[in-house]
């Protein structure tokens, strides 16, 4: 019997859980982008259509699964899913260990109850946004690692959380 892969969510949020505005990230933190790449490289990534459009390209060296309601949506080089369950099933064909949900807001909200692990970057401060990460602290209560950083422009920390 095939092992079920771990479902992980990776996201950068402000202290007020803000994640984006006008289909853009709220900050430019090279260390966070490097952290994201290090964690997701070689693993399938699930993203909503708007997140794909805001990135503007597929992520290299990862199976890209785009979740969309648009039955006619096509994207060369990506797998298309029309439900979260279909996205998880597609991702599991590529990796038996870990799959990553990378956004956006609606996808995070739908995936949160199914996630096993949360890779969280928390950026100091409250930001004005139109997309917020759902409340997670009652679900993910156990911190397994925490690393604080200050790059001179932003203070932030990398957290890895699991359910108790």
Summarised one tens digit per residue, pLDDT across range 33-60 is 999 999 999 999 999 999 999 999 999 9
This model's pTM is above 0.85: yes
- DSSP H or E run through 105: helix 105-111
Summarised one tens digit per residue, pLDDT across range 97-126 is 999 999 999 999 999 999 999 999 999 999
Average pLDDT rounded to a whole number, residues 133-143: 96
Mean pLDDT of the chain: 96
Whether domain 6-162 has CATH 3.40.430.10: the reply is: yes
pLDDT at 2: 63
113 Cβ contact list (under 8 Å, min separation 6): 139
pLDDT at 96: 83
Q: What is the DSSP string of 46-85?
A: EEEHHHHHHH-SPPTTS-EEEE-S-TT---TTSEEESSHH
**Burial environment of residue 39 by CB neighbours within 10 A (0 to 12, 13 to 18, 19 or more):** middle
Sign of the torsion angle spanned by Cα atoms 148, 156, 124, 159: negative
Q: How many helices (H) and strands (E) does the chain have?
A: 4, 10
pLDDT at 154: 95
């Amino acid at each position: 019997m095939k092992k079920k892969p771990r479902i992980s969510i990776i996201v950068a949020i402000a202290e007020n859980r803000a994640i984006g505005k006008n289909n853009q990230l709220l900050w430019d933190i090279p260390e966070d982008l490097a952290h994201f790449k290090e964690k997701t490289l070689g693993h399938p990534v699930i993203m909503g259509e708007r997140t794909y459009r805001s990135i503007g390209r597929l992520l290299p060296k990862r199976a890209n699964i785009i979740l969309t309601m648009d039955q006619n949506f096509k994207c060369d080089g990506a797998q298309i899913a029309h439900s979260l369950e279909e996205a998880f099933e597609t991702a599991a064909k590529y990796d038996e260990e870990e799959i990553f949900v990378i956004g956006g807001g609606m996808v995070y909200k739908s995936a949160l109850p199914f996630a096993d692990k949360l890779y969280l970057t928390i950026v100091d401060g409250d930001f004005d946004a139109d997309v917020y990460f759902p409340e997670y602290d009652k679900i993910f209560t156990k911190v397994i690692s925490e690393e604080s950083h200050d790059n001179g422009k932003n203070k932030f920390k990398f957290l890895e959380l699991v359910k108790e």
